[in-house]
Amino acid sequence: MITVIDYGMGNIRSVVKAFEKYTASVRVSSDPSSIAESNALVLPGDGAFGMAKAHLDEMGWTAPLKEYIAKGGYFMGICLGFQLLFESSDEFGFHRGLGVVPGHVRRFALANLKVPHMGWNQVRWEQGSKFLEGIPSESYFYFIHSYYPESADAEWVVGSVEYGMRFPCIVSKGNLIATQFHPEKSHKAGLKIIENFVRYACS
């Protein structure tokens, strides 16, 4: 069973529909106890970092999520779900994240750079990942975000993108993968990531 976490941040229907292309075992849950019956967790999300982390805290997801990831459970983070894995963000003030991936999330601040970063952009593979099998480096993915990881531990970074500067947009280690872009909106290449994730998580 793949559990898509509903913590009140963004429309998750498009994520669920993308996963349903590859498995019938998909559910949406706002109850952290559902982790016990899950083969994999998906953390999507749109909106503000601080509010999202507060929702996770208030709904009781934070500690079980961190424990699940630490034990090597299959996990996918998407967009805001990618950013929340980092240690902190300065979106509307300083906020602590889940602290799974070393690094800090900042707003784009280069002069003449259109914010948000929105649309299709090429992603370069920095190292291999089982979740990227069958997808060429420099494939295009769909982005919409105003904040980015200023830094990240190199051992976590498997994909990067150029937008005013080069920054990490895919982190992965073990059974975890998280993307700044929306794989569910990224046509063939993005859906292949989801297909690979489902294949490994449900095998």
Check 55, 79, 117, 145 and give the catalytic one: 79
Kind of pairing, strands 26-29 and 2-5?
A: parallel
pTM for the whole structure? 0.95
Q: What does DSSP assign to residue 16?
A: H
Residue 190: Cβ-neighbour burial (10 angstroms; 0-12, 13-18, 19+): buried
User: What domains are there in the chain, each with its CATH number?
Assistant: 2-201 (3.40.50.880)
Q: Is 74 helix (H, G, I), strand (E, B) or coil?
A: strand
**Is 187 noted as a catalytic residue in this protein?**
no
**Is 169 noted as a catalytic residue in this protein?**
no
Check 55, 117, 145, 182 and give the catalytic one: 182
Give the C-alpha distances (Å, rounded to integers) separating 190 from 99, 114, 193. 26, 24, 5
Q: Is 20 helix (H, G, I), strand (E, B) or coil?
A: helix
Check 55, 95, 145, 184 and give the catalytic one: 184
| Torsion of the alpha carbons at 177, 158, 10 and 98, rounded to the nearest 10 | 70
Q: What does DSSP assign to residue 27?
A: E
CA distance 36 to 32: 8
**Is 79 noted as a catalytic residue in this protein?**
yes
Percent helix, strand, coil in the chain, to 5, is 30, 35, 40
Q: Is 161 helix (H, G, I), strand (E, B) or coil?
A: strand
Q: What is the pLDDT along the chain (203 residues), one digit of tens a residue?
A: 999 999 998 879 999 999 999 999 999 999 999 999 999 999 998 889 999 999 999 999 999 999 999 999 999 999 999 999 999 999 888 999 999 999 999 999 888 889 999 999 999 999 999 999 999 999 999 999 999 998 778 899 999 999 999 999 999 999 999 999 999 999 999 999 999 999 999 87
